[in-house]
Amino acid sequence: MDNVELEASGLELGGADAIGKAVAADRPSHSKRQRNASEPIDIEKDLDRISLVQALHDTEAATARVIDLTERLVEARQQITELRGEVERTKLEYFDYRSEHEQMKGSMAYRIATVIWSVRNAFRL
């Protein structure tokens, strides 16, 4: 059924619950069917309505899953972006410390301390 047929049958496009209520209200009860046995029962119409309700429920469930997966994907993407930024900051910090370490190793005080340490180890003091 397309939207025009739904609207023509008096059903709103408000979701499967509204369709389910309309189908239940439209469907004759079992006792009415027995009383009006002379009227032909349109089983195909009932099956079509039930199929429509089930399809709407399935669509709502699939839509909810898609929304959930999309939200999780967006959150994961934000986390990846944050982690990449943290990695870049950590790399910069590492290079700063490495540069500082190289400067200390090149300083006169470090070389003197290295010589003193070597002499100490040579005499086992």
pLDDT score for 44: 86
C-alpha 60 chain-centroid distance: 16
Q: Are 19 and 11 in contact (CB under 8 A)?
A: yes
Number of residues written out for the chain: 125
pLDDT of residue 39: 46
Query: What is the per-residue burial (b if ≥16 Cβ within 10 Å, else e) of 71-83?
Result: eeeeeeeeeeeee
Using 70 as the pLDDT threshold, list the residues of the chain that sit under it. Answer: 1-41, 125
- Determine the Cα–Cα distance for residues 113 and 125; give it in Å rounded to an integer: 15
Q: What is the pLDDT of residue 24?
A: 53
Burial of 63 (0-12, 13-18, 19+ CB in 10 A): exposed
Predicted TM-score (pTM) of the model is: 0.48
- Residue 125 has a pLDDT of 65
pLDDT digits (tens, 9 = 90+) for 92-125: 999 999 999 999 988 999 899 999 999 999 988 6
